[in-house]
Structure 1
Amino acid sequence: MSNEVSLDQVDRDILFQLSQGGRLTNVELAKRVGLTPPPCLRRVKRLEEAGVITGYRAVIDPEALGRGLEVLVDVEIYAQDRKSFEAFEATVASYDEVVECRRMYGRPDYFLRVAVADHAAYEAFLTGKLSGLPAVLRLESHLTMKKIKATG
């Protein structure tokens, strides 16, 4: 949060409802959290301005985009200097296949979520792009058996 904001239970209810369906109208949201529309809208605006609500987005079915295979990848790198970290991060962030990249404490150094069409596309990404990066020491791929819980 950019500005420290005290959240009461109504604020938390608003955040929960919006996280479940960001396209709720203010009238519907107000009804769900037990407010009338004007104070509900003021609270939402305050949460947006304070940086608690950072945006709204559409959740898109990866299959519809031809990216039905998601692979979680642990990456360890050789380098420990800032320039190498930054170069690796910039390169990985530029790859369309990488939908999430996190620098981790400890091992692995990075955690990636990669979305591709199928196993052949993942192999091409892994061998043609990721494993060829100069800083890469080790890669470990994880395929999901079953998604139990996911947010967005």
Structure 2
Amino acid sequence: MSDDVSYELLGFDNVLLPVGDLNEGVTFYERAGFPVAFRLDEAGIALLKVGKETPGVLLRLDDELSHRPPPWASPRVWLEVRDARAAADALAAVGVQPLDAPFPVATGWTVEIADPWGNVIGLTDYSKRPELARAARA
């Protein structure tokens, strides 16, 4: 812990992703395998579950967004899956096209998808380093 910081980071709360249409965003992510934990249309938000963790991916309505990637580089959020190459096949089967073929990373494989607003989600596995996977830590 840095001497300059007087607080401790405990973990993630939610990852917020802006979407231009909440219904379309929820539909896209449900098709990609993200279950909805809750939805508050009056607040313009929907929380998508990620595994058994309480935090999730929070879609937040931004009426200013159009169907195109933003003019800035999009950050990437990577989520752990058991098999990224199988996830790529499953996504393609339901019409969610990965940005590229699964690619190797230090821990295993990763595949990335982008929603209609340019938010990028990566699905990554630990096939090369199974001792670091969630199952090994449980």
The answer to whether the superposition gives a TM-score over 0.5 is no
Larger strand share, 1 or 2: 2
Whichever structure has more helix as a proportion of its residues is 1
Superposition TM-score, scaled by structure 1 size? 0.29
- Higher RCO, Cα 8 Å, sep 6+: 1
Bigger Rg, structure 1 or 2: 1
Compute the TM-score of the two structures, normalised by the length of structure 2.
0.31
